[in-house]
Amino acid sequence: MHLLAMNRSLSVDPWLALKRFTPARIAMGRAGGSLRTVNLLDFRLAHARARDAVHAAFHADAIRGQLNEAGLDFAEVNSPVTGKQDYLLHPERGRVLTEESTAFLASKAQEWGERDIVVVISDGLSAIAAESHAVAVAKGLHRELGETFSFYPVVIVPYGRVKIADAISDVLGARMAIILLGERPGLGAKDSLSAYFTYKARNCSVDSDRNCVSNIRPGGMPVPWAVRKLSVLMRESFRIERSGTALKDRLTLDDLQRALPLADDEGKLR
């Protein structure tokens, strides 16, 4: 790469200073009218990494280990999805539980009794995101909300879509479900986690019943901020006994920064 950087015949754009206003790929210069080699390969690398992130296998044992370390109980269930391609082609299969898992959870429901919150963890479209941030968010929610609300064991489900939390919550009879799952990797970030929570999530719940906090990652919405935001919103949701479009997010960035400066061990900025 350094050889290319030494090629002085390629011009530098006079508006190079504008790069500081946007992370967009501006002021890259050109070869004729085309992309310079360095930028062509840089783009190709970003896409390759995003592709690899989409196809990366989900290591449920990594999640188990982190949950054990955090002292959180867990259970594991499955959707009928058979593999990555099946998952990508058939979103509806990632939204339901297998019959076995439904029966398993039904038996667990009796053992656990009725509780307030079920946290669900899935790889979604980025296993890396789930493995990197999901347990930290789950742990933070227990810390913030654990004194007021009772939690079910965390439910791990590979190849889940957002709606599978409705199915899980439906069987358990939970008051609230929150699913933490990897977002579709972009060229810029491949480890973004999303959190969707639904008050009284049931099989009949729809998208407008949910609230979402997205882009959870260092450099995006750091974990401590996400936990803060989620716990405020979830408390409010319990109070008004609704979620979704009825629940408005009025927290500003300043609120988050004041509440939790980024010194927290889980929220290191890059």
Partner 1 sequence: MNSTTLEIAGKHWTFNSLKELMGKATPLRSGDVSAGCAATCDEERVAAQMLLADVPLRLFLDEPLVPYEKDEVTRLIVDSHDTAAFEPVKNLSVGEFRDWLLEYGTGPEALTALAPGLTPEMVAAVSKICSIQDMILIASKCRVVTAFRDTIGLPGCLSTRLQPNHATDDPKGIAAAMLEGLLYGCGDAVIGINPATDSVPMMQELLKLIDELIQRYHIPTQSCVLAHVTNALEVMRLGTPVDLVFQSIAGTEAANSVFGVNLNVLEEAYDAALSLRRGTVGQNVMYFETGQGSALSGRGDWGVDMQTCEARAYAVARKFKPLLVNTVVGFIGPEYLYDGKQIIRAGIEDHFCGKLLGLPMGCDICYTNHAEVDQNDMDVLMTCLAAAGLTYQMAIPGGDDIMLGYQTTSYHDIHFIRQVFGKRPTPEFESWLKEMDLFDARQRFINHTGNNHALIGYEQELER
Residues that bind partner 1 (CB under 8 A): 11, 13-15, 17-19, 21-28, 30, 32-35, 39, 43-44, 46-47, 50-51, 53-54, 88-92, 125, 184-188
| Helix, strand and coil percent figures for the chain, each rounded to 5 | 45, 15, 40
Determine the residue type at 261: P
Question: Which of 180, 190, 66 minimizes the C-alpha distance to 134?
Answer: 180
Nearer to partner 1, 43 or 104 (CB): 43
Residue 44 to residue 49: CA distance in whole angstroms: 9
Nearer to partner 1, 93 or 202 (CB): 93
Q: Give the C-alpha distances (Å, rounded to integers) separating 265 from 72, 133, 171, 268, 269.
A: 18, 12, 35, 6, 10
Nearer to partner 1, 184 or 242 (CB): 184
Please state the closest distance from residue 1 (CB atom) to partner 1, in A.
17
Beta carbons within 10 angstroms of residue 245's beta carbon: 11
Please state the closest distance from residue 11 (CB atom) to partner 1, in A.
7
Question: How many angstroms from the chain centroid is the CA of residue 57?
Answer: 16
Please state the closest distance from residue 50 (CB atom) to partner 1, in A.
4
Q: Where are the beta strands (DSSP E) in the chain?
A: 74-76, 117-124, 154-156, 176-182, 193-199, 210-216
Please state the closest distance from residue 265 (CB atom) to partner 1, in A.
27
Two structure tokens written together for 237: 């949701």
Two structure tokens written together for 163: 């709606």
Rg (CA), the chain: 21
Nearer to partner 1, 67 or 164 (CB): 164
Nearer to partner 1, 140 or 182 (CB): 182
Question: Which of 269, 195, 182 minimizes the C-alpha distance to 232?
Answer: 195
Please state the closest distance from residue 21 (CB atom) to partner 1, in A.
4
Nearer to partner 1, 7 or 68 (CB): 7
Please state the closest distance from residue 224 (CB atom) to partner 1, in A.
20
Question: Are 62 and 53 in contact, with CB atoms under 8 Å apart?
Answer: no
Nearer to partner 1, 39 or 102 (CB): 39
Please state the closest distance from residue 100 (CB atom) to partner 1, in A.
24
